[in-house]
Structure 1
Amino acid sequence: MLKTDILNAPLLAALATLGHTDTVIIADYGLPLPAGTPVVDLALVKGQLSFTAVLDVLARNLVIEHSTLASEAKGTAVYGWCTEAGLEPGFISHEELKAQITNAKLVVRTGEATAYANVILRSGVPF
């Protein structure tokens, strides 16, 4: 067995394919997902799995060189959650963030019900 705390096989498999500059989006349950976008759906019911639970796991298991939030998330709990996870996010409009979904290598859909609880994580390298 692998030494990782991620047990979800589709999520682990998708993360294993990431290369430098690939992006992963952690999304609330309301973010519109275009057809053809690779999604690992971790939403069970409203509020579960939370944005923070998924962010904490991914922050421990990925090299993240940059993160991006919607500018509408400035000063909100979402911004606080990201900084607590060690991220220093940049900002783009929510409309721009939604446009970036089609470029993502993976979207991880959560059951989060907080407005603008979406973050783009850009994969880095450990050297």
Structure 2
Amino acid sequence: MKKHGVLNPALSARLARLGHLDTVVVADCGLPVPSEIPVVDLALVFGVPRFTEALDAVLGELVVERAWIAEEAVGQAPQEWVAQRIDEVHTISHDELKQRIASAAFVLRTGETTSYANVVLQCGVPF
């Protein structure tokens, strides 16, 4: 058994496959995901797990060089949640964010119900 880090086997496997410039989306429970994009669904009930819990778990495993949130999140809690954790955060329209999902390696679905609690993370390298 692992001593620390992500215990969910589906999430752990997906994270291990990521490389430089790959993107992954941490999403609220309502974000539409194209059927061809893999989803690791952690949602148990509304609010569980929270976006920040899932984001913290992912950030504990990955090097992230930049991120994108929806312009609609500016001034809202999701902007603060992401900005507190990631140095380079860009804003794009919510529609553009949804379009970027089509090129993501996978989507991590949380139980979050806060509007616009979605972030696209671009992987960096630790060297």
TM-score by length of 1: 0.95
Counterpart code for 1:68: W
SS of equivalent to 1:24: strand
Question: Residues 5-84 of structure 1: matches in 2 within 5 Å?
Answer: 5-84=5-84
Counterpart code for 1:88: E
Runs of at least 4 residues of structure 1 off by over 6 A? none
Gaps of 5+ in 2: none
Sequence identity (%):
52
Alpha-carbon distance, 1:17 to partner: 0.4
SS of equivalent to 2:60: helix
Equivalent in the alignment of 1:110 = 110
Alpha-carbon contact 1:82-1:88 (below 8 Å) kept? no
Residues 36-45 or 87-96, more deviating: 87-96
Q: 1:38 & 1:87 partners in 2: Cα distance?
A: 27
SS of equivalent to 2:19: coil
TM-score by length of 2: 0.95
Q: 1:65 & 1:4 partners in 2: Cα distance?
A: 23
Length, aligned pairs only: 127
Q: 2:3 & 2:92 partners in 1: Cα distance?
A: 35
Gaps of 5+ in 1: none
Counterpart code for 2:96: E
Q: 1:126 & 1:32 partners in 2: Cα distance?
A: 31
Residues 43-52 or 81-90, more deviating: 81-90
The 3 A distance-change label for structure 1 pair 80 and 21 is same
Alpha-carbon distance, 1:95 to partner: 0.2
Counterpart code for 1:82: V
Alpha-carbon contact 2:64-2:124 (below 8 Å) kept? yes
What value does the CA root-mean-square deviation take over the aligned residues?
1.1
Equivalent in the alignment of 1:123 = 123
